[in-house]
């Protein structure tokens, strides 16, 4: 008997995949709504994994995570340690909101300088919503930066407010107290501690109180050394690299200081990559090798350069040659990266690349000369000095000296390469061009050590070229006994410039086998004006008149007995190098 088949049974049966497609089209899969995701994922309407400090859904695709608008449930003991007034939803005063916005929009980009830095782009901003010490430090730095911005006449109409002169210091004091409370906690967050110290270091540097700024850095390094075996691996690498940059700057500008993070730089890979992916990788790589070089120079090379002239151990010569080759390889990496067809750099990134190239060239010169006390060793690097000068000229001409590097940022910027060129290159044309560029730097913005370094370099050039008959002497026209080996100045450590600054010089007037002669020259500031906040913050605004070049007769030795083999030069004295050549 034939069975009756319905018409519907003759229709083709849908596959499993088509059934799933119809189900997706017909109805939406249920998922509970969440209000705790990051802003970026909310805008994209995707589920956020809510990772902290930035979610993986954003970072894995190269997007910027804009943080969170509300807190997520955390352990009760953490909640008890954070005052409710500092939660993101708490109402802040108008002044506090404004200083925070100024920090976010103006200060953080200035601190980052020419490079993208997650510490200032994300971490500090996010942590300030949950950690009181970081919030107060952000307010202090933002308020001081804004006060300086307003005082320099760069404010927009109506930008002035009722900020009292003491407000930045009040916030800074609260940040110090908050840091003490943070360190007393049962479970200390080293990330939060480092962020707070980084903020306070930049606060002191903005006041030009460089010794207190360095003390903050030294304290952070000591904490890392104490907890090296446990905490360093748990700390965000970006924070350690930020501290390493400050450590490097302290060694670069403060005389014979040895970098304090050798354990970190020694632990990182010593093998250079085959190519560079981006500028951030290039900066971190160059900073690491710069710290290694300065540690080698100060801890090993200086023992033979200044104290034991003569035979140099073969292992030190080999190390010096390795550093020279490393920085040659880094130059090649930067050159290849710069000429990649796929690399499209913004103006800011081009300037950052230029600063890295300048740093590598300086490092190669230092690596090749660090074992020798004769300054004539620098004469072989005229092309490198000219390249450094060309890079600085390009940045200054296209970016108006980029004032961000003279406000908050502790990047070495243009000042150090120009100072190094003016004091170490004996070709008159090159060094006078470097001096001319230094005089164009914005020293009138309250950064008085820019003017002091410029005048110290100018005096150094004048002393070396004083006896030359030629209008533009070359390296061969300046003998070794006339050359200044190091130049620096003091009187700036706590940001209170005195009526004068003492510039220190070191020479060997009796030749390469003679004793060192240390002498000094006083530089007088014609007029000093004080600001209310400057008095409270130990800062000053210095109005400099036209520079009056000191004559050779104005140079006096410190406790010198004037026994000389060459006329007109002291032969002894007490040497105290504060700032200057490595």
Report the alpha-carbon distance of residue 526 to residue 435 in Å, rounded.
21
| Phi, psi of 362, rounded to the nearest 5 degrees | -65, -45
Locate the domains of the chain by residue range: 17-73, 90-152+162-262
Return the higher-pLDDT residue of 461 and 579.
Answer: 461
Q: What count of other Cβ atoms lies within 10 Å of the Cβ of residue 120?
A: 27
| Residue 111: partners with Cβ closer than 8 Å, 6 or more residues away | 117, 120, 202, 408, 409, 410
Report the alpha-carbon distance of residue 71 to residue 126 in Å, rounded.
11
Helix (H) or strand (E) holding 223: helix 210-226
Domain at 17-73: CATH code: 4.10.240
Report the alpha-carbon distance of residue 189 to residue 183 in Å, rounded.
8
Closest CA to 110 of 370, 291, 455, 348: 348
Task: Output the CA–CA distances (angstroms, integers) from residue 57 to 41, 50, 51, 127, 346, in the order listed.
Answer: 8, 9, 9, 20, 26
Task: Output the CA–CA distances (angstroms, integers) from residue 4 to 11, 13, 307, in the order listed.
Answer: 15, 19, 111
Report the alpha-carbon distance of residue 534 to residue 541 in Å, rounded.
8
DSSP letter for each residue of 147-181: HHHHHTT-PPTT------TTHHHHHHHHHHHHHHH
DSSP letter for each residue of 529-582: E--HHHHHTT--EEE--S--PPPGGG-EESS-----SSTT----------SS--
Convert the pLDDT of each residue in 163-212 to its tens digit.
677 889 999 999 999 999 988 888 888 899 999 999 999 998 888 787 88
Which tokens in the block code for residue 90? 């708490």
Task: Using CA atoms of 152, 154, 159, 160 in order, give the dihedral in degrees to the nearest 10.
Answer: 10
* Mean pLDDT of all residues belonging to the chain: 74
Q: pTM of the entire structure?
A: 0.71
Rg of the chain, C-alpha, whole Å: 29
Cβ atoms of 488 and 449 closer than 8 Å: no
Q: In the chain, pLDDT over 70 holds for what percent of residues? A: 66
Closest CA to 373 of 229, 261, 515, 253: 515
pLDDT score for 547: 32
Return the higher-pLDDT residue of 25 and 391.
Answer: 391
Q: Is the pLDDT of residue 373 over 60?
A: yes
pLDDT score for 518: 85
Report the alpha-carbon distance of residue 244 to residue 37 in Å, rounded.
33
Residue 375 gets which letter from DSSP? G
Cβ atoms of 283 and 356 closer than 8 Å: yes
Convert the pLDDT of each residue in 217-276 to its tens digit.
999 988 888 776 555 557 888 898 889 888 888 888 766 788 887 666 555 667 899 999
pLDDT score for 16: 47
Q: What count of other Cβ atoms lies within 10 Å of the Cβ of residue 118?
A: 20
Q: Is the pLDDT of residue 535 over 70?
A: no
Return the higher-pLDDT residue of 354 and 489.
Answer: 354
pLDDT score for 160: 53
Mean pLDDT of 337-361: 90
Q: What count of other Cβ atoms lies within 10 Å of the Cβ of residue 314?
A: 8
Q: Is 312 exposed, middle or buried (0-12, 13-18, 19+ CB in 10 A)?
A: middle
Which tokens in the block code for residue 271? 């093998």
Cα 61 to chain centroid, rounded: 29
Most confident range (mean pLDDT) of 23-32, 95-104, 385-394 is: 385-394
pLDDT score for 268: 61
């Amino acid at each position: 008997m034939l069975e009756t088949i319905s018409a519907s049974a003759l229709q083709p049966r849908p596959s499993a995949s088509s059934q799933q497609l119809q189900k997706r089209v017909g109805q939406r899969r249920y998922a509970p709504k969440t209000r705790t995701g990051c802003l970026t994922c909310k805008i994209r309407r995707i589920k956020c994994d809510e990772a902290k400090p930035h979610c993986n859904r954003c970072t894995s695709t190269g997007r910027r995570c804009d943080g969170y608008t509300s807190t997520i449930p955390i352990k009760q003991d953490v909640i008890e340690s954070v005052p409710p007034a500092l939660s993101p939803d708490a109402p802040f005063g108008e002044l506090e909101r404004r200083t925070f916005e100024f920090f976010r929009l103006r200060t953080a980009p200035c601190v980052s300088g020419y490079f993208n830095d997650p510490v200032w782009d994300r971490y500090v901003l996010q942590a300030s919503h949950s950690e009181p010490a970081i919030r107060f430090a952000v307010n202090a730095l933002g308020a001081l930066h804004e006060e300086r911005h307003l005082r320099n006449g760069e404010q927009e109409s109506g930008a002035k407010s009722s900020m009292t002169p003491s407000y930045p210091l009040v916030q800074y004091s609260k940040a110090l107290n908050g840091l003490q409370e943070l360190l007393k906690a049962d479970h200390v967050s080293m990330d939060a501690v480092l962020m707070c110290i980084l903020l306070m270091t930049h606060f002191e540097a903005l006041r030009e109180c460089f010794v207190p700024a360095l003390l903050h850095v030294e304290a952070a390094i000591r904490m890392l050394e104490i907890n090296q075996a446990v905490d360093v691996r748990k700390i965000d690498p970006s924070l350690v690299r930020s501290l390493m940059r400050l450590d490097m700057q302290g060694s670069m500008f403060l005389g014979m200081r040895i970098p304090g993070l050798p354990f970190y730089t020694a632990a990182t890979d010593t093998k250079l990559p085959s190519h560079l992916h981006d500028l951030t990788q290039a900066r971190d790589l160059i900073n690491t090798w710069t710290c290694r070089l300065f540690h080698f120079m100060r801890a090993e090379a200086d023992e033979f350069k200044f104290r034991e002239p003569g035979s140099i151990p073969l292992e030190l010569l080999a190390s010096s040659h390795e550093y020279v080759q490393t920085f040659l390889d880094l130059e090649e990496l930067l050159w290849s990266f710069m000429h990649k067809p796929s690399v499209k750099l913004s103006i800011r990134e081009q300037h950052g690349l230029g600063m890295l190239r300048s740093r590598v060239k300086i490092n190669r010169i230092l690596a090749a000369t660090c074992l020798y006390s004769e300054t004539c060793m620098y004469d072989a690097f005229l092309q490198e000095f000219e390249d450094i000068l060309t890079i600085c000229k390009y940045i200054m001409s296209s970016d108006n000296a980029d004032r961000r590097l003279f406000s908050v940022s502790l990047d070495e910027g243009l000042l150090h390469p120009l100072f190094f060129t003016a004091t170490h290159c004996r070709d008159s044309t090159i060094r006078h061009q470097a001096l001319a560029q230094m005089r164009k730097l914005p020293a009138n913005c309250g950064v008085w050590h820019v003017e002091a370094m410029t005048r110290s370099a100018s005096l150094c050039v004048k002393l070396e070229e004083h006896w030359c008959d030629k209008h533009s002497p070359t390296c061969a026209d300046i003998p070794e006994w006339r050359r200044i080996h190091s130049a620096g100045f003091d009187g700036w450590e706590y940001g209170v410039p005195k009526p004068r600054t003492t510039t220190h010089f070191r020479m060997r007037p009796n030749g390469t086998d003679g004793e060192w002669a240390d002498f000094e020259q006083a530089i007088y500031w014609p007029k000093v004006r004080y600001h209310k906040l400057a008095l409270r913050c130990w800062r000053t605004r210095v109005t400099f008149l036209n520079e009056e070049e000191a004559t050779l007769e104005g140079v006096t030795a410190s406790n010198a007995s004037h026994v000389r083999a060459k006329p007109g030069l002291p032969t002894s004295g007490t040497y105290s190098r504060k700032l200057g050549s490595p």
